[in-house]
Amino acid sequence: MPADFTPYRKLLKRVREISYLGSSAAALTWDVETYMPPKGLAFRAEQLAYLGSEAHRMFTSKKVGQLIAECEQHGFPPESDEAANVREWRRKYDRATKVPARLVEKLERTRTLAREAWKSAREQSKFRLFKPHLKKILDLNRQMADCWGYKESPYDALMEGYETGATASELRALFATLRPAIVAVLGPARERSTAIPANLLQGHYPVAAQQAFNQKVASAIGFDFQAGRVDTTTHPFCETVGPGDCRLTTRYDEQNFAQSLYGVLHEAGHGMYEQGLLAEHYGTPLGSAASLGIHESQSRLWENHVGRSPAFWEYWHPVACEHFPDLKKFSPAQVSAAVNRVSPSFIRVEADQVTYDLHIILRFEIESKLVEGALDVTDVPACWNEEFEKSFGLKVARDADGCLQDIHWSIGLMGYFPTYTLGNLNAAQLMRRAAQENPALDGELARGQYASLLKWLREKIHSHGSRHTPAELMKQATGEPTQSSYHLDYLKNKFVAK
């Protein structure tokens, strides 16, 4: 029960009312990506613009500010739920009140229309179709950054909404050390993969069979299908409508089952985090994820540390063969080697674990230049292609394989990409700590037993919501703030040692 303090109860009632608007927008957004008829787009843009701006107005009202101030003056015990919520409400309120509702409304409308323009541009591999929408998205993000304010870079203001305390300068320093370390792993890892044909597992994998197998795997690791579902979309994502309603999506290739499987494992990691947030705190900071870097740690952990391990395929190979007869000619070791093959490729969501962070570094560099005014939208394809060839040694022939492949810019998410690499770092650190605290973990995973790992993540990460900053949460869970060394050690041990 919340504290028996009237201003707090009023504040709690208000933020939960606001959360209903947000959950309604989430359901409508999911529908845009899955089942909405094309002619419904213009009206849907108006719906989402209204819901977004109305939620903003409700939260930024003077009454909410007064209630927060009264709660602060009341002085809840520092470690209490109430104190944590009030602290986060203050931070969010101070940030939100700097932005006019009309700007929020305009961004919501613009990104709904831009999302569909991106889909069409990607299908046709024509950046020019998306360019005017990207210009609007970029301009609105810059306006938002100016409203929020920043000390060094407008990119800092944008990142604050995804990863509290992160800055462009810190990321540049991190990536400056991470890039050469990854490149050092890439050479020998790629050499070891030369014996594995790129199309080794290519075969006939009907969508229905993929859906059935993916659901078995997702259920086994802990995703609750009584409180969630999986649908098909252009770009995989996870959308939480509310307690008991978490939607995952993936995409299918009937010649390559791994695309949908690892899409589902990734999104199920997000989904299990959402399902692990305490329902009684819904609509409050304690019922919300700590950050995107923490969120991505969950998806990368289940997708890679669990799903791409040799133990995973030792256990799941017989089940996979029941669904995919074409896999019977391969051993578990061959399947594991194939899904862990290291070779530079164009598409981020299909990238191997070694080159993945190079994709993120590329996006960060281009995105931060756009936001800081050092790169014009018109020059994005040329810049992307040039920098991609430098990092990956591959020439980009199609915009769909280059600057149009990701959905993030089209939905206004500038400042998001670095959280994927932060997620990789966090995932390795969490997995290492979980194994230290449970020496039997490797054996459990080899037997397809995932309950203790999920329980540990529930206790260390999920149940805390936004009680702590990302750095504080990682320190509490693992004994230290986020480090890059564990991720690099993991890559070396997996892809170079032996």
pLDDT in tens, the chain (498 residues): 456 799 999 999 999 999 999 999 999 999 999 999 999 999 999 999 999 999 999 999 999 999 999 999 999 999 999 999 999 999 999 999 999 999 999 999 999 999 999 999 999 999 999 999 999 999 999 999 999 999 999 999 999 999 999 999 999 999 999 999 999 999 999 999 999 999 999 999 999 999 999 999 999 999 999 999 999 998 899 999 999 999 999 999 999 999 999 999 999 999 999 999 999 999 999 999 999 999 999 999 999 999 999 999 999 999 999 999 999 999 999 999 999 999 999 999 889 999 999 999 999 999 999 999 999 999 999 999 999 999 999 999 999 999 999 999 999 999 999 999 999 999 999 999 999 999 999 999 999 999 999 999 999 999 999 999 999 999 999 999 999 999 999 999 999 986
pLDDT at 497: 84
pLDDT at 220: 98
Task: Let me know: does 355 contact 344? Beta carbons within 8 Å.
Answer: yes
Q: What sign does the CA torsion over 459, 462, 468, 469 have? A: positive
Domain ranges of the chain: 6-125, 168-495
Interior angle at CA 97, CA 13 and CA 467, nearest 5: 55
Strand partners, 231: 249
pLDDT at 3: 62
Provide the annotated active-site residues: 267
pTM: 0.95
What are the structure tokens assigned to 278, written together? 């305490």
pLDDT at 234: 83
CATH of domain 168-495: 1.10.1370.30
Q: How far apart are CA 205 and CA 15, in angstroms?
A: 46
Backbone phi and psi for residue 385, each to the nearest 5 degrees, phi listed first = -60, -40
pLDDT at 2: 56
